[in-house]
Structure 1
Amino acid sequence: MSRSNFEQLSRAQLAALLPELLLCGHLIDRSGMAHTIAALGRTGMTAVAIEEWQLASPVYTRRMQRAFGFTGDDVVTIFKGLQLDIGAPPQFMDFRFRVDDREHGEFWLDHCGALLDVEPMGDDFVVAMCHDIEDPTFDATALATNPHARVRPIHRPPRRPADRKPMCAWTVTIDAAHVPPPVPPNADQIAGSAAASLALADIDSGDEGRSDYAGPLLSDLRFADFSKSALVRMADEVCLQHHLLTLGFLIALRSRLEPTAAIELCRKQFTGIAGLTAERLRKALNLGDDPAALATVLRLHPAWNPLSYTGVRVSEVEDGVQLTIPRDSGAESDGAWPALIGADHLAPIAAMARAVNPRFAARTVDSTDRALTIEMTRADRTFRESTEVALTRFSTGAVFAFTDRGIPLPLTVV
């Protein structure tokens, strides 16, 4: 039995897939926050966004540091973590770095897809994202590496002039005199989740290519330089980031909405990102629109990975694909995405299927206390894209294309 669904891919395929997984993790908020604004207003949305990132990012940042051998407490460690964070997908959020010494550095964004998404909505939304949300969440990410780290703006939007480049710039300072902020409420819920403590297969140091991110900070991560074993682990870790962020989102919603309303809003978030992610995975791997392509997309979809967390199984059947969700997994106990699927709640799965072929229909074929089985087959008609996917497509990330930037440069102390 495979330990990871990503083992079926070649090293080259995995290298192409990793930036896609990071970008789709970033776009989770493009799916969820539109519905959050409708339910709670701009101020409520801002509070939810702050809480979800504060809860999730320290947990997955430390996981990635341990997995790829760059644990430490300096500025370089903070910057390496950002390069493997769904909050900073490569090129779409084009972080550039400068290291002055182990306790001082700067980063700036030559391109910020999130800002380009929000600027048309007006300065109030720009301030909410670039001031209200970024201040505590950048600090939360840095504090995962060093409790005395501070991230402070040099300049940031609203942009004056309107085409200012870089779009923002920040200092990172580690100062022993800096008093860390209190641990956010509900942090123990994420820290105690099955996702936070999930053990994944060790990276095989004998594989061809990089097995870790020890050594100097690089201007960019070129995923093709990593070994297949490292890329498999990286893909599973990035999928866990998706789940941890969504768990933070759900915790934040539950403290502000009735339980049923919180679940329904999270289902809408899931549906929007489920469809858009399936579409990008299919295109990245140059797949067709038949059941075999759908089965591949489902096996690789972040909602169903890591395999050891979800236990979700995908199989091809006559004229279609079956997906089986066990009810005894870590994802189920956490209340993560698989737990949001029910016999009468199949919209996220339908969105995934229709991103491969708009004629696919999903239906429940078996539902017990042990597992839920859904079958997807082609119907006689074409289905319209769901409202949730259409809203997520508002982001420029929906059509963003990655480019090859060549050999990355090591960044040394200036």
Structure 2
Amino acid sequence: MPDSPASRYAGLSRERLAALVPELLLIGQLIDRSGMAWCISAFGREAMARIAIDEWAASSPIYTRRMQRALGYAPDVPGKGDVPTIFKGLQLDIGAPPQFMDFRYTVHDRWHGEFHLDHCGALMDVEPMGEDYVRSMCHDIEDPTFDATAVATNPKAQVRPIHRPPRRPADRHPHCAWTVIIDESHPDAKGTPLLADNERSRAAGLDLDPIDPADDGLADYSGPLLSDLDFAAFSRSALARIADEVCLQMHLLNRAFTLAVAQRAADDGELLRICRKQLVGIAGIAAERLARALDLPADAEGATRLLSLHPLLNPAAYVDADIERAGIVVRPSPAHEDDAWISLCGPDWTAPLQAIVRALDDHLDVEVTGLGAGEDWRLTVVRRDHPAPEPGEVAVVRFSTGSGFAFEPRRSLPITPV
């Protein structure tokens, strides 16, 4: 088997990578702010909640195990992990981006723990929509999806609420609190039927470059559970691998989203319409956050660089693209086999690519042309005389407080049993 292509993130400095990783985790969370709006419009609130359950439950067990293996904290015996292992996974999960979903952990012993959220960005987004939507998220969706995430570590784990929204009183803090208990008497948690389908994807089994243990900084997360991960403590090699894994989390989540929507869409046309709207929305907001975090220049070269680092085109082992100064050449790849985001793009539809470059400057645009008789295509960034308006799909995602959320410095302290 040929070696996997080098990570496109490997060319960034360790400092830039440490800033990039939490951005990618937050971007993954915002995928739902884009997709679920269109599901509510098409199918209603209750069907939207069912789609969200299937989406997360069919992806998080896969990517949680991938991150465990990548960072060296997988259970010695598969399926026999402990509470600290579950909590480490949450810290590296797009479902729980740092600070925006401000998880605080308590470990009583290996098999008993608690967490609460000092700040829940998802709740801040949903509360203005009314109590029915809060219950859908904090009850209907959270119950099965928390257990689905825990089952990746130990099928005997149960995550149960101490209290949760709707908040009584309205300003109650913390926003919610939960127990995590692993007990052999618990029945095994069961995966959603779509999980088996997603496990057969190319993303699920994709090989990525191993972390270089000789690189300066932490090469794994095998040490104690930390209150807040200090990404700057990881090596450049580890951070590049984490970034690639987080992008794969997004692709696995998106694939599960597509599978769940396909079960409810009236036809292929409705499915394509919803998937395209979800992609344009997250493409633009993700690009805006990445451009700001990486301080990219607002010109054609900066836009090409932005495209090369965007989750749409990553990881390199998944999306085959040659990044050149003159443009980007995209070829068929594992991502196309999975019907991932990049498979929607090309000469016939460029809206998400346009949303990405216009996050830097609304005068920028893309020209996309096919190459020969094959499926390859070339993208070139160009500048127009007149600015383009923001797509409505991006404006929908901007409704989320996550679109403008700012990370703050935190101290990283070990968590010991109490």
The 5 A counterparts of 1:222-301 are 222-257=230-265, 258-301=267-310
Alignment counterpart, residue 376 of structure 1, candidates 381, 389, 399: 381
1:1-400 matches, within 5 Å, as 3-72=6-75, 73-257=81-265, 258-317=267-326, 322-327=327-332, 329-366=333-370, 368-400=373-405
- Once the two structures are superposed, what CA deviation does each residue of 1:245-289 show, in whole Å capped at 9, x if it has no partner? 000000001111122211221111010000111111110011220
CA deviations on 1:173-206 (whole Å, 9 max, x unpaired) are 1111111243311222110110000000110111
- Partner Cα distance (1:245, 1:146) in 2: 21
3-state secondary structure, aligned to 1:48: helix
3-state SS in 1 of match to 2:171? coil
Partner residue in 2 for 1:402: 407
Query: Residue type of the partner of 1:343?
Result: P
Aligned mates of 1:183, 1:238 — CA distance in 2: 21
In 2, distance between residues paired with 1:266 and 1:160?
37
Partner Cα distance (1:25, 1:359) in 2: 27
User: 2:5 and 2:133 mapped to 1: Cα distance?
Assistant: 45
Over the matched positions of the two proteins, sequence identity in percent amounts to 55
State the TM-score, normalized to the length of structure 1: 0.97
Q: How far apart are the structure 2 equivalents of 1:306 and 1:256?
A: 30
Instruction: Return the alpha-carbon distance in structure 2 between the equivalents of residues 282 and 237 of structure 1.
Output: 20
Deviates more, 1:366-375 or 1:197-206: 366-375
CA distance in 1, matches of 2:191, 2:313: 30
Q: Distance in 2 between matches of 1:92 and 1:187?
A: 27
1:97–1:105 CA contact under 8 A, matched in 2: yes
Give, in angstroms, the shift of residue 291 of structure 1: 1.2
The residue number in structure 1 matching 2:78 is: none
TM-score, normalised to structure 2, is 0.96
Would the aligned equivalents of 1:11 and 1:224 in 2 still touch at CA under 8 Å? yes
Contact 1:298/1:314, CA 8 A, preserved across alignment: no
Distance in 2 separating the partners of 1:88 and 1:151:
15
Q: Is the CA contact 2:29–2:95 (under 8 Å) kept in the aligned structure 1?
A: yes
1:2 is displaced (CA, Å) by 6.0
Name the aligned partner's letter for residue 322 of structure 2.
Answer: R
**Equivalent residue letter for 1:359:** H
User: What amino acid sits opposite 1:126 in the alignment?
Assistant: V
Are the aligned partners of 1:51 and 1:248 in contact in 2 as well (CA < 8 Å)?
A: yes
2:193 and 2:271 map into 1 onto residues whose CA distance is 18
Conservation of the 8 A alpha-carbon contact between 2:100 and 2:120 = yes
Separation (CA, whole Å) in 2 of partners of 1:190 and 1:296: 30
When the two chains are superposed, the root-mean-square deviation of aligned CA atoms in Å is 1.1
The separation in 2 between residues aligned to 1:9 and 1:167, in whole angstroms, is 36
AA of the residue aligned to 2:72: G
| SS of corresponding position for 1:78 | helix
Is the contact made by 2:58 and 2:191 (CA closer than 8 Å) also made in structure 1? no
Determine the C-alpha separation between the residues in 2 that align with 1:183 and 1:152.
17
2:6 maps to a residue whose letter is R
Q: Which residue identity does 2:350 align to in structure 1?
A: L
Aligned residues: 408
- 2:168 and 2:274 map into 1 onto residues whose CA distance is 36
Note if contact 2:5-2:317 (Cα within 8 Å) is conserved in structure 1. Answer: no
- CA offsets per residue over residues 215-271 of structure 1, 9 Å max, x none? 210001000000001001000000000100000000001111122211221111010
Query: Matches of 2:409 and 2:144 in 1, distance apart?
Result: 33
SS state of the match for residue 308, structure 1?
Answer: coil
Deviation at 1:375, TM superposition (A): 2.2
Q: Look up the equivalent residue of 1:17 and give its one-letter code.
A: L
Asked if structure 1 preserves the Cα contact closer than 8 Å seen for 2:304 and 2:325, the reply is yes
User: Gaps spanning 5+ residues in structure 1: where?
Assistant: none
